[in-house]
Structure formats: structure tokens, C-alpha cells
């Protein structure tokens, strides 16, 4: 694909919060990209509406539909911010059509991740719990820090999100925990210490703890603390604008459109 060619992007979950942000970014004209298709579930209020009009802009000439097969036919690459169940179906479609898919859906189970990795045998697949460039740099730093500091330093991961977020800890916090565990040479499930309540006893050595805040309109704050005797080292990322996730997803999609089949992460996009 030549550099001059516009990349045709399909948006799965296009009427959702993230889908709309991605559409708005594409329509800004700052990218060598255009919207090829916008897909929503059958009961969505957006079905039959022009995505530009939904965003309060001029008509974009792309109507929101339920036709996933058509979306995979006409798109060079697709971006998925939907639900784990829908992502499972999208991974199967990527496998059949051989089309690149960027997955930003959170809360994926091992079954859905397995489907994404199976699809990667026939199509470029990229999955990330967080599309922010800064968060992915933070993950790399956390892993490196964990290799440098032994279990005399306790690791605690704090995350804060708005009151409407339904899962905890966040997918990003969990990914940071995986990075810390990888740096320590252990599996997170063997070291994880969830939120605490009551007389639970002293902190086990080597535990990777999680603390969660929910309230207000917090976009997303994540801090990883390495606490030793006499000092604490804190690595933090604070998001103040959700559009940064849309920009990261587009960066990933434009990169993935040129890749061979395989399973990729944001660290590959960023060259980490």
C-alpha cells in the first residue's frame, strides 16, 4: 500500500463513546484515512444515521449499519471498541476475510484472547488494554523498573476512573500488573493481591497489590509505586482527554494496515 493511498477504516461500535471519537478524528482530515464503514448492534439508536450528522458535522456519506460482513469487505483495517462477545465474532470475521483488526475492547476472557490469536494466523491483529501512547510507555518503564528492584520493594498499582466504570481493576491497571510481574519473573496470578478490607494480615512479600477509586468524571489515572524501606518510587500516567485513546487507536490502525498476519501490541507500533 503506497503512502499516498488513503487507508479505509471500519469502525465497530461506531456510535459508542470511543467509536464517535475515532470517527471525529478521521473526519478532522489530519490523517491519510477515511471512514469506510460504521457498524453498531441491531438495537442501536444510530442505525440508519450518517456518522457525520451524529457528530454534529456535515454529512460524511457513511451510514451506521449492522452489516459486519460488508464492513470487513470494504475496509482496509477495522477498529473494535465493543463488547467481549462482539469481539469474539469480529476476530472470526478477521480470520475469514484476512483483514487487520485493532481491538480496544476491555474485559476480554481467555477464550476471546485465544480467538484473537487464532485470527492472527490469517490476519494482522493488534490488541491493547489501553491505546494511549503514554500508558504503553509506562508499561515498558514498569517492567524495566521491576527487573531492577527485587521483592524488598512492594509493588502497588493504583487506578482511578469515573463513577460509571463497571469493572475493576481497569484493564490498564491489570496490564501494568502483568508488566511488573514479567519484570519480576513471575506470573501475576501467583503474586496478585486484590483490594483489601478487614483484618487480612500483613502484606505478603513479593505481592503485587491493586487499589481502586471510582468517582466523578475521572478519565483515567494510573500510578505504580515501588515502596522500599526509606523510599518510594512512583511512575504515573494521568489522562485528561479521552480523545488521546482515539488518536492512539488510529495510530495503531494506520500501522497495522501495512503489516503481515500476526499478533501485535502497541509496543510494536511504538518500537518499544
Q: Can you give the residue range of the structural domain that contains 155?
A: 133-239
How does DSSP classify residue 159? E
Query: How many Å is the Cα radius of gyration of the chain?
Result: 20
Q: Is 21 part of any domain?
A: yes
Residue 194 sits in the same domain as residue 252: no
Active site annotation includes 187: no
Residue 145 sits in the same domain as residue 116: no
Residue 198 sits in the same domain as residue 95: no
Catalytic member of 165, 237, 260, 267: 165
Mean pLDDT (the chain) is 94
Q: Domain of 70: which CATH number?
A: 3.40.50.720
Active site annotation includes 165: yes
- Please tell me the total count of domains within the chain: 2
Catalytic member of 68, 90, 161, 222: 161
Report the b/e string of 159-190 with b at 16+ CB within 10 A.
bbbeeebeeebbbbbbbbbbbbbbbbeeebee
Label residue 55 exposed, middle or buried (CB < 10 Å: 0-12, 13-18, 19+): middle
Residue 260 sits in the same domain as residue 201: no
What confidence tens digit (pLDDT) does each residue in 131-188 have? 898 999 999 999 999 999 999 999 999 999 999 998 899 989 999 999 999 999 999 9
Q: Is 88 part of any domain?
A: yes
What confidence tens digit (pLDDT) does each residue in 103-124 have? 999 888 899 999 999 999 999 9
How does DSSP classify residue 50? B
Cβ(126)–Cβ(265) below 8 Å: yes
Q: Is 43 part of any domain?
A: yes
Q: Domain of 185: which CATH number?
A: 3.30.360.10
Residue 16 sits in the same domain as residue 118: yes
Amino acid at each position: 500500500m503506497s503512502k499516498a493511498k488513503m487507508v479505509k477504516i471500519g469502525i465497530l461500535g461506531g456510535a459508542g463513546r470511543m467509536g464517535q471519537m475515532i470517527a471525529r478524528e478521521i473526519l478532522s482530515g489530519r490523517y491519510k484515512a477515511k471512514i469506510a464503514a460504521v457498524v453498531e448492534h441491531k438495537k442501536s439508536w444510530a442505525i440508519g444515521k450518517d456518522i457525520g450528522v451524529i457528530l454534529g458535522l456535515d454529512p460524511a456519506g457513511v451510514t451506521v449499519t449492522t452489516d459486519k460482513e460488508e464492513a470487513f469487505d470494504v475496509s482496509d483495517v477495522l477498529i473494535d471498541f465493543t463488547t467481549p462477545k462482539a469481539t469474539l465474532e469480529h476476530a472470526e470475521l478477521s480470520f475469514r476475510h484476512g483483514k487487520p483488526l485493532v481491538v480496544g475492547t476491555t474485559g476480554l476472557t481467555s477464550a476471546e484472547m485465544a480467538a484473537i490469536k487464532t485470527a492472527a494466523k490469517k490476519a494482522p491483529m493488534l490488541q491493547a488494554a489501553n491505546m494511549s501512547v503514554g500508558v504503553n510507555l509506562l508499561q515498558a518503564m514498569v517492567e524495566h523498573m521491576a527487573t531492577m528492584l527485587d521483592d524488598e520493594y512492594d509493588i502497588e498499582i493504583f487506578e482511578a476512573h469515573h463513577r460509571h466504570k463497571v469493572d475493576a481493576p481497569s484493564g490498564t491497571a491489570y496490564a501494568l500488573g502483568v508488566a511488573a510481574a514479567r519484570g519480576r519473573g513471575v506470573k501475576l496470578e501467583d503474586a496478585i493481591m486484590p483490594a483489601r478490607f478487614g483484618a487480612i494480615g500483613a502484606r505478603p512479600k513479593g505481592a503485587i497489590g491493586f487499589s481502586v477509586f471510582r468517582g466523578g468524571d475521572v478519565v483515567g489515572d494510573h500510578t505504580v509505586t515501588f515502596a522500599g524501606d526509606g523510599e518510594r518510587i512512583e511512575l504515573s500516567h494521568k489522562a485528561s482527554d479521552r480523545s488521546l485513546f482515539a488518536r492512539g487507536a488510529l495510530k495503531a490502525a494506520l500501522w497495522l494496515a501495512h503489516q503481515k498476519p500476526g499478533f501485535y501490541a502497541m509496543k510494536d507500533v511504538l518500537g518499544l
